[in-house]
């Protein structure tokens, strides 16, 4: 697995997702696309050309914000840069640790739209990254409950041909250090591998502890990705 995959697609994952598995979640033109805003605040362009940003103008209402990946054209008109940041992309071409039938994995449950209020509460506490009211529709999500309370979760986000992103990996601050994040990441990755696809994820380049953990599961650092939050101003 992974040897016949076109890894170059991961240079622009959202564009390829919005053109394939996530077409039903897309607001799309010819060379620009975005997720429906209550799903995911990410937009994508075929090649990040200035003409494509002009097309994106028509897809984003005035005053709304989107996140785009990659370098921006120098003559960007109609957009204000709100935030520039970077994320590290990691790819798992061979999962080293498979789920074991232990208490953690046996207790993992699917999360659905009925769980969204609790998922949003957990995201606010744990801050794993962007997660909106309908993000759960992007893929399969799993979680762990203790005494009925959602304390950890992980799931699938950007899904493109041959690859699927693991995201929203988070644990309630009071329940960290118990291996919940590792167990759920492994379960999510194993599900993707079972579909003959390659799991990938994004992590802050400064988060060395998380990167080391993912490396132990079989993920390798592929590249640093530039992220820009843009606000439509004209």
Q: Which domains does the chain have, with CATH numbers?
A: 7-86+227-232 (3.40.630.30), 89-223 (3.40.630.30)
Query: Can you count the helices (H) and strands (E) in the chain?
Result: 6, 11
- Residue range 163-185, pLDDT digits in tens: 999 999 999 999 999 999 999 99
Which range among 3-7, 29-33, 199-203, 226-230 shows the weakest confidence by mean pLDDT? Answer: 3-7
Pull the structure tokens for residue 26: 């897309």
Total-model pTM: 0.94
The backbone torsions φ and ψ at residue 226, rounded to the nearest 5 degrees and listed phi first, read -85, 130
pLDDT of residue 105: 72
pLDDT at residue 2, as a whole number: 41
Average pLDDT of the chain, as a whole number: 94
In the chain, DSSP assigns E strands to 26-28, 32-35, 43-45, 65-69, 79-92, 109-111, 141-146, 149-160, 163-171, 198-203, 219-232
> Which residues lie closer than 8 Å to 77 by C-beta, 6 or more apart?
50, 53, 54, 234
How confident is the model over 198-230, as pLDDT tens digits? 999 999 999 999 999 999 999 999 999 999 999
Sign of CA dihedral 134, 59, 46, 19: positive
| pLDDT bucket at 3, cuts 50 / 70 / 90 | very low
Question: Long-range CB contacts (< 8 A, 24+ apart) of 53-57?
Answer: 53/77, 53/78, 53/79, 54/78, 55/29, 55/30, 55/31, 56/29, 56/32, 57/232
Would you state the pLDDT for residue 103? 67
Q: Tell me what pLDDT residue 234 has.
A: 82
Please name the residues in contact with 71: beta carbons below 8 A apart, sequence gap of 6 or more: 48, 226
The percent of residues in the chain predicted with pLDDT above 70, rounded, is: 96
């Amino acid at each position: 697995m992974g040897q016949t995959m076109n890894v170059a697609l991961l240079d622009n994952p959202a564009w390829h997702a919005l053109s394939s598995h996530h077409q039903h979640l897309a607001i799309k033109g010819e060379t620009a696309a975005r997720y429906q805003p209550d799903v995911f605040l990410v937009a994508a362009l075929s090649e990040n050309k200035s003409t494509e940003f002009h097309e994106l103008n028509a897809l984003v209402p005035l005053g709304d914000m989107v996140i785009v990946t990659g370098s921006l054209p120098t003559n960007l008109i109609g957009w204000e840069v709100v935030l520039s940041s970077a994320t590290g992309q990691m790819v798992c071409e061979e999962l080293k640790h498979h789920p074991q039938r232990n208490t953690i994995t046996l207790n993992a449950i699917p999360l659905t739209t009925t769980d969204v209020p609790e998922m949003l509460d957990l995201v606010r506490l744990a801050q794993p990254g962007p997660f909106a009211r309908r993000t759960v529709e992007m893929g399969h999500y799993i979680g762990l409950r203790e005494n009925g309370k959602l304390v950890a979760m992980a799931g699938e986000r950007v899904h493109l041909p041959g690859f699927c992103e693991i995201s929203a990996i988070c644990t309630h601050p009071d329940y960290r250090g118990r291996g919940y994040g590792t167990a759920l990441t492994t379960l999510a990755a194993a599900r993707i591998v079972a579909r003959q696809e390659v799991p990938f994820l994004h992590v802050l380049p400064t988060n060395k502890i998380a990167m080391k953990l993912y490396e132990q599961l079989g993920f390798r650092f592929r590249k640093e990705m530039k992220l820009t939050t843009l606000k439509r101003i004209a």
